[in-house]
């Protein structure tokens, strides 16, 4: 199992404002996988996602006291998009064995995928996720639908 950093998700205060900044200001084109709740952008071999900060914290099952304190949750998650659900489970188990705190056990997601969250020793959140509608390139990178 190789850990591939495939996605950086920014928890944003105002999704419309952030979309305008990244699309009109920086010229990124949203993927067709984007919807009214989340935006995805191909950034070279990586993916940038924008998601409301509160929803991101809730999805990661962070306790309420962490959500309102930028020192305890900076609104950023890193993701390893795995090709299979089994690979998600393997990554979660490996992280836990290495000392990670499991923030959210891997489970079916409301949007049709499978994901869990773990925290490294410094509290950085990682999502181990299988997104069935994203393709993987030869290097393990994500390829978003246009």
Which percentage of the chain shows pLDDT scores above 90? 60
Taking only the tens place, the pLDDT of each residue in 29-41 is 999 999 999 999 9
> What is the pLDDT confidence band of residue 141, given thresholds at 50, 70 and 90?
confident
Structure confidence at residue 44 (pLDDT): 83
Which CATH number fits the domain that encloses residue 108?
A: 3.10.180.10
Query: What is the number of domains present in the chain?
Result: 1
Q: Is residue 91, in this structure, part of any structural domain at all? A: yes
Taking only the tens place, the pLDDT of each residue in 43-75 is 888 999 999 989 999 999 988 888 777 777 788
Q: Is residue 54, in this structure, part of any structural domain at all? A: yes
Q: Is the pLDDT of residue 2 over 80?
A: no
Q: Is residue 94, in this structure, part of any structural domain at all? A: yes
State the residue range of the domain holding 41: 7-143
Q: Is residue 13, in this structure, part of any structural domain at all? A: yes
Structure confidence at residue 27 (pLDDT): 87
pTM of the model: 0.79
Q: Give the 3-state secondary structure of the chain.
A: CCCCCCEEEEEECCHHHHHHHHHHHCCCCECCCCCCCCEEEEECCEEEEEEEHHHHHHHCCCCHHHHCCCCCCCCEEEEEECCCHHHHHHHHHHHHHCCCEEEEEEEECCCCCEEEEEECCCCCEEEEEECCCCEECCCCCEECCC
């Amino acid at each position: 199992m190789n850990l591939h950093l495939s996605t950086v998700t920014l928890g944003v205060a105002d999704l419309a404002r952030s979309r305008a900044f990244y699309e009109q200001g920086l010229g990124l084109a949203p993927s067709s996988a984007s919807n009214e709740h989340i935006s995805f952008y191909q950034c070279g071999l990586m993916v940038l996602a924008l998601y409301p900060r509160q929803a991101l914290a809730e999805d990661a099952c962070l306790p309420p006291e962490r959500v309102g304190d930028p020192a305890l949750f900076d609104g950023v998650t890193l993701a390893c998009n795995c090709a299979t659900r089994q690979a998600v489970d393997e990554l979660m188990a490996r992280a836990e064995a290495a000392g990670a705190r499991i923030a959210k056990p891997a489970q079916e997601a409301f949007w049709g995928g499978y994901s869990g969250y773990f925290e490294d020793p410094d509290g950085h959140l990682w999502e181990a996720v299988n997104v069935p509608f994203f393709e993987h390139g030869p290097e393990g990178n994500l390829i978003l639908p246009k």
